[in-house]
């Protein structure tokens, strides 16, 4: 079937699918009673015609669907708590789903969302295929991404922090303390926040006339184990760094452990800067210098934007970046010139 370019009515979709209007309505609303083959045929037609329900006709449930990558991580837990609080103030419940290791939804997640008919969907560090985004759009279900994995589509509003600036601030702080060999543990290469923090790190080095050595850049996936492994690798170099910008607080705690196993003291022998300013950063020993990410503000913005899009589906989309700030605690100090 050639791809259609104009929008169709519900009756036209039903006629082309050779089904009743009520069957198309069941598919649109995620209800049961339609075979998989028929459902797939109707969904394909809805996609081809870029069908979209008329605004004002949808009866949304007072629910916010949230898809989160690594729901059990400290970062996920703190973001989710903030979103739940913001939603509760709007008298909206929250339905939470975990994502796969690839930061994508499990099978049938979108079907379940369509069946629930929430006021909107929030993705935390996740990504959604173009087809699934169109399925939500065709039902007028708003979608907002928080700290998106990958580069978000231009037609999807996203909320993040000023990661380039955060990476620059963290590295500049270490440079101002006299450090010239500064390691970094980066995040996944396909994640916008990771590449922005790495770019900020490199810009700070360049502004100080320092050369970024490839051996000082180590990859990870924002897990504590990566911080331990890559921290140990950095500190075992023939000419190890005197400071490490761990681009997450979990990395930083892994670096703490690596330093202890090698008999190094923080900050006397090694300065460490984290990222996120999770609660664990204040509890570390010594308390962690880190870049504060405004998670509460990001959550409030996400819920506010979903509600606004629910009322104004044609509103122009945008990316919102909220400022980061450096929080100096006890894990950084002037470089020990005897080393």
Out of 238-242, 287-291, 316-320, which region has the weakest mean confidence (pLDDT)?
316-320
Helix axis angle, 109-116 to 130-138, nearest 10°:
10
Handedness of CA 310, 311, 314, 318 (dihedral sign): negative
SS3 at position 65: strand
Cα–Cα distance for residue pair 203/189, rounded to 1 Å? 18
Handedness of CA 221, 297, 170, 329 (dihedral sign): negative
Cα–Cα distance for residue pair 108/91, rounded to 1 Å? 27
Give pLDDT, residue 8: 61
Each residue's pLDDT tens digit, 288-307: 999 999 999 999 999 999 99
> Who wins on pLDDT, 70 or 14?
70
Give pLDDT, residue 3: 39
The answer to whether residues 274 and 259 touch, using CB atoms and an 8 Å cutoff, is no
Cα–Cα distance for residue pair 313/302, rounded to 1 Å? 15
Give pLDDT, residue 6: 41
pTM: 0.81
The answer to whether residues 224 and 164 touch, using CB atoms and an 8 Å cutoff, is no
């Amino acid at each position: 079937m050639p791809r259609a370019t104009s929008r169709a009515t519900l009756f036209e979709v039903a006629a082309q699918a050779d089904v009743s209007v009520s069957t198309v309505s069941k598919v649109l609303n995620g209800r049961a009673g339609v075979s998989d083959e028929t459902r797939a045929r109707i969904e394909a037609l809805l996609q081809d015609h870029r069908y979209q329900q008329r605004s004002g006709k949808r009866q949304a449930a007072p629910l916010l669907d949230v898809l989160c990558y690594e729901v059990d991580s400290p970062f996920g837990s703190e973001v989710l708590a903030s979103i739940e609080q913001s939603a509760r103030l709007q008298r909206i419940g929250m339905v939470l789903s975990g994502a796969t290791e690839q930061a994508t939804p499990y099978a049938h997640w979108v079907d379940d969302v369509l069946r629930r008919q929430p006021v909107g969907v929030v993705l935390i560090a996740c990504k959604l295929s173009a087809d699934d985004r169109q399925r939500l759009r065709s039902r007028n279900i708003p979608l907002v991404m928080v700290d998106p994995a990958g580069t978000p589509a231009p037609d999807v509003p996203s909320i993040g922090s000023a990661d380039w600036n955060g990476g620059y601030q963290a590295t500049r702080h270490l440079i101002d303390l006299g450090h010239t060999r500064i390691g970094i543990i980066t995040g996944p290469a396909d994640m916008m926040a990771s590449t922005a923090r790495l770019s900020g790190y490199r810009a700070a080095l360049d502004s100080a006339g320092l050369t970024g050595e490839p051996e000082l850049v180590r990859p990870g996936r924002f897990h504590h184990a990566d911080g331990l492994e890559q921290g140990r690798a950095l500190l075992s170099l023939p000419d190890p760094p005197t400071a490490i910008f761990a681009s997450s607080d979990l990395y930083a705690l892994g670096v703490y452990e690596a330093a202890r196993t090698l008999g190094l003291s923080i900050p006397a022998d090694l300065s460490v800067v984290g990222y996120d300013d999770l609660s664990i950063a204040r509890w570390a020993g010594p308390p962690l210098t880190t870049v504060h990410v405004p998670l509460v503000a990001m959550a409030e913005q996400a819920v506010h934007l979903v509600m606004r899009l629910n009322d104004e589906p044609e509103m122009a989309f945008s990316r919102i970046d909220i400022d980061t700030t450096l929080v100096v605690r006890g894990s950084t100090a002037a470089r020990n010139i005897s080393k």
